[in-house]
Structure 1
Amino acid sequence: MSDDVQTTTFSISSDDGATDEITVPSGLVDLVAEGDQSDAETVGDVMLLSFASRAHHIVHHGEDADEDLEAQEARVMDLFEERFGVTFGEATGHQH
């Protein structure tokens, strides 16, 4: 049955020229899209949310977060707020 589910493949490239591809079910992209977002914008939102969530968890719920890691988490939270117009805490209801 899962073979019947339509998928969409996205290409990712970095400043150093490395590339990767990820394939996800197309319906999930549609499910989490906001308004008239493109599929690429939707995947970008999910990716930034994932990085912010992981960084938050490591810094605030993990162990031994050093100054560099705390700075990385602060930067991703700034980027999150720039993209979404709200803080991570406002968006997720998870505030410290």
Structure 2
Amino acid sequence: MSTMTIAEPLQHLLQEFTIKNPLDIIKDYLVTEILCKISDFTQEVRHFEAKYGQSFQEFEAAYHAGEEDFARYDDLMAWEFAQQGKAYWEKRLEGMKHVL
């Protein structure tokens, strides 16, 4: 792990806000950003669930059982990306718990 040097003006600001460990700010920021990513992907997943009235797994099975439909294929790919993105960032958030 590397050492971080904080400029004196920033040190004074940190003291004014009674922040003892600057790493806490970094950790809080990262958790906030991860939660935003999860929220964005969750909204995308819910959009497709509402649009098609079924889960991703049901939609995927129905898509592969039916005839080729490019619009539905695009939705399938976007939905899958949202599912995977959500799972990825949830896993990263879980990993942050060990750092916090």
> What TM-score comes out, normalization by structure 2 length?
0.39
Which fold has the larger relative contact order, with Cα–Cα distance below 8 Å and residues 6 or more apart in sequence?
Answer: 2
> What TM-score comes out, normalization by structure 1 length?
0.41
More strand by share: 1
More helix by share: 2
